[in-house]
Structure 1
């Protein structure tokens, strides 16, 4: 099926077969709809980059046919890439009031807030994006106003869940609208594109109300300073920590810019109404240790986050030590294990007690649907086809098996698979190019491009640069200089040997190459590689600066 046959297709460009970087596309005829646009965090396999975004090249080439981008909720892995990628998409955005508020702050930091058209849609609202008839359905998640989507088309209805769970007492925002989901199921649903993140967890989801009770009980037993780390976008958890602290007579301090932004956005939209104003990190040292609870960013071991700097004792305002406690009210995202354990080890070395949910306390619950929740969703929606998304391959296959238990055909996709939904067979018909881009300051770099490839090589093999001056005829003036940061010490005998052998090799460059700067440069690089030899057992990035005087 092609883009001109009037059919319906689904294409994930990010977030299917991986955690994070959600970017999904639907095509109706030749018109496209984007759903979510999020970031991901690099793991141990990509130390040269910290924040990643999906490569939007496929839809960027079709952006004149892109009717709009709909945001399901305000988590970073669904909204965080908008500020980085919007100039490549240039389409209107549709979001609930809270997601729109969060997004405007992000766009403001990127100086795009007055350029990007944002249409605010009420929770549960119905609206059109080009030929797509879309209805928001409120669902429970760890951020306010999470919405599933019923996408109605002439070919049938597709329900796109976004992130969700069933929590009868979510504390912040309404519970999952199960009745409306059933009504849409009664209308008939072609496909259910559904979150798979927590599908391997048995039973029903735990409630945020249970976490509030558990945290209150735990805080009441502790002395000294208490710090609680959680996802900065989890408004319900921030409120839970604050209410638990207030219940035991402690004042609450926010530590980390993203938490301060969340506080402002949440209060602007009417959330955190029962929470007293937070203290700033600059005010924390004026409070008695036994009267303070700090909410701190950095639950995933992010290098520049507040908790990581506190653990290294390099934070400008906050220090933790003997007698203090850090509580992890969060889960460990796959790929972040080493970074998180390093932070916890540094805290423990400083005398801090570290508490996680593995210690038997009810201090965290997932915002994603468990296996029983997913079964309930299938009972409500009763789709013809199940399309697991939002998870690694093990999550997707477990989800597919669960759907098949219900007698529903499951289709396993990876990023880039173009799934034909109608007319004809529901099957993968083509593949779109996909990839990852690294956020590097205010620019985006291809992970397999020259810049990051060079950075990767420098990281593992080092860098060696030679500087040499030559006269008009191409003969060396003075002594070449060698610099090899991260590879050789300046006074290392090996460094002296390399410099001498490089100087000798430069003298042997053929006369016919000396008059051409480009040819001389290439010959000098070859000479430098030869001078390094095999003794170092490294293949560093090599460059030569040639100055003709």
Structure 2
């Protein structure tokens, strides 16, 4: 990978060819001295594609093996797909972390949950501030997005300047925080930009993403005319949207209560950083029943149909404190993330079954995206004038559409996927090598490989079930009594088939040679094969099989 005279390279370990799990690396290599910079460290979600998984993150093994050369991790903003994996992966990286005040406030809460808050060297950098991590000289440029303090990252090196946009849009009225700093972008473009590494989420969407001010106006008009309880769900990280909902509630004579942990955490982080200061403290779930139905608005998590979210539990009528029914209204002030259609549909069906009225972005202007549509991308290329473009943060159809637009704007695009190492300088960019990539699953409080034995077994159990047998054998190899069979997800304990499988399993075991029944490892393997065969004959399935061999 090393160039004789040094090079500047980019390597995405996550977030390219997919949406989520952003983990990006830049390498500056000069003779005898290799240095790496990490940008963002986020999570993704299993969704319908991986129902056995809740939270995913990129495997950092490549850079963990080089952490003595890692100068730091810079966070562009506080969305989960850019910051959510820090608390889990930092023990493998052990580097300093740099973030704006709001992102740092969110991150501290996550680090406290994993017991790392006093271990991580977290440096707070003002929006628009600078960082010197030699050989990388870094500067933030303020960008509008659906969360406070989103920053594009200018990476200056002796071989050229790269602009890493993070997530952004060109919203003239973002309501919380300033608009994107187009003057700084134009100034950067005038000096010369080697490469633009840029968000591709909405590269297929013509026009403009829209403004938060329009959403605020429409929410106020909608909520003013409603009766009964009103619940609004949105992305918890959209602090401007939270403020818009609270102001609409105030105009309608309603108090606001929060339902859902992520909303409470984001509210606390926002207020710590001086946002939402014009609003009174939100009520808690315990306060809701003390307020008349026509005077309460519930801001609730679960816009994507997450099964354990507050809204999903309300829809199933099993939330301990909040209920909705005939005459009440739920407003989905959010878009449907691809892959979540079925989960959201289930929540909405359950709400309608209880007589709840729904309002969504399909019939009301109550949501705008935080990512740039094609007109905004064109404007960015006009301002920055990069020689080369590297589309990231999108699936292949998004990356390809972005590359086409970049080419029209006069930049030369390069399409990558996770693990590709592209040399940006010197000379014309080219993919020069690849790094091993993979995904890790957050399984409780541990990380396991997505394609390792644990998750492979989980998938087999999910689709084919599990069967366990307990078998007692004496030292002479005589089978004692009748095997005990347990097959959760396949057979009820009282099912007659359970007894039949146990009987057939016993018959097969008794037919084994006596010398095999006296040897533990051979007998255990034969027992698993016998159990698998007995169940296959009865049910036609191949479940996970285990046998507890008890030698007496």
- 2:424 aligns to what? 421
Alignment partner of 1:274: what SS?
A: coil
2-structure distance, mates of 1:299, 1:499: 47
**Separation in 2 of the partners of 1:413 and 1:533?**
45
Shifted more, 322-331 versus 506-515: the winner is: 506-515
Distance 2:224 2:193 in 1: 49
Q: Matched residues in 2 for 1:431 and 1:104: separation?
A: 34
1:116 aligns with 2:120: yes
Q: Give the equivalent residue in structure 1 for 2:24.
A: 24
Change (3 A) 1:533 1:99: closer
Please tell me whether the aligned partners of residues 536 and 542 of structure 2 are also in contact (alpha carbons under 8 angstroms): no
Give 3-state SS (helix, strand or coil) of 1:533's partner: helix
**Shift of residue 5 of structure 1?**
4.9
- Contact conserved, 2:501 with 2:538, CA < 8 A, in 1? no
Q: Aligned pair 1:99/2:84, yes or no?
A: no
- Partner residue of 1:439? 442
Match of 2:482 among 479, 482, 494: 479
Alpha-carbon distance in structure 2 between the residues aligned to 1:535 and 1:5: 68
For 1:258, the equivalent position in structure 2 comes to 262
Counterpart of 1:82? 86
Distance of aligned partners of 1:288 and 1:495 in 2 relative to their CA distance in 1, 3 Å threshold: same
Aligned counterpart for 1:299 among listed residues 300, 303, 321: 303
Indicate whether 1:467 and 2:491 are aligned.
no
Aligned-partner Cα distance in 2 for 1:4–1:487: 61
Alpha-carbon distance in structure 1 between the residues aligned to 2:437 and 2:318: 39
CA distance in 2, matches of 1:73, 1:4: 36
1:513 correspondence with 2:516: yes
Match of 1:323 among 320, 324, 327: 327
What is the alpha-carbon distance in structure 1 between the residues aligned to residue 418 and residue 334 of structure 2?
27
- Deviations along 1:394-439, one digit per CA (max 9) or x if unpaired, are 1111111111111211111111111110123301111111111111
- Which deviations, in whole Å up to 9, do the C-alpha atoms of 1:107-165 show, x marking residues without a partner? 00111000000011111011112311001000000111100011000110000000000
CA drift at 1:362: 1.5
What SS class does the counterpart of residue 36 from structure 1 fall into?
strand
State the 1:74 CA deviation: 0.5
Q: Quick check: 1:333 aligned with 2:350? A: no
Which residue is 2:171 aligned to? 167
Q: Offset of 1:489 from its aligned partner? A: 2.0
Q: For 1:512 and 1:470, how far apart are their aligned partners in 2?
A: 13
Once the two structures are TM-superposed, the CA of residue 4 in structure 1 deviates from its matched residue by 7.0
Q: Deviations over 1:59-80 (max 9, x none)?
A: 1111111110000001111000
Runs of 4+ in 1 over 4 A off after TM superposition: none
Corresponding residue for 1:395?
398
Secondary structure of 1:452 counterpart: helix
Give 5+ residue unaligned stretches, structure 2.
none
Q: Secondary structure at the match of 2:19?
A: coil
1:32-431 equivalent positions in 2, closer than 5 A = 32-359=36-363, 361-431=364-434
SS in 2 for 1:246: helix
Query: Are 2:537 and 1:537 equivalent residues in the alignment?
Result: no
CA distance in 2, matches of 1:422, 1:541: 51
CA distance in 1, matches of 2:299, 2:182: 33
What is the CA-CA distance between 1:328 and the residue it aligns to? 0.6
Counterpart-to-counterpart distance in 2, 1:345 and 1:60:
45
TM-score in terms of structure 1 length: 0.98
Q: Does 1:6 align with 2:6?
A: yes
Q: Match of 1:295, SS? A: strand
CA 1:475–1:237 in 2, change beyond 3 Å: closer, same or farther?
same
- 1:494: Cα distance to partner? 2.2
Gaps of 5+ in 1: none
What value does the CA root-mean-square deviation take over the aligned residues?
Answer: 1.1
SS in 1 for 2:362: helix
Deviation at 1:493, TM superposition (A): 2.9
C-alpha distance 524-330 of structure 1, shift in aligned 2 (>3 A): same
**How big is each residue's C-alpha offset from its partner over 1:258-295, in whole Å with a ceiling of 9 and x where there is no partner?**
11111111111000011121000110111010111111
Secondary structure class of the residue paired with 2:441: strand
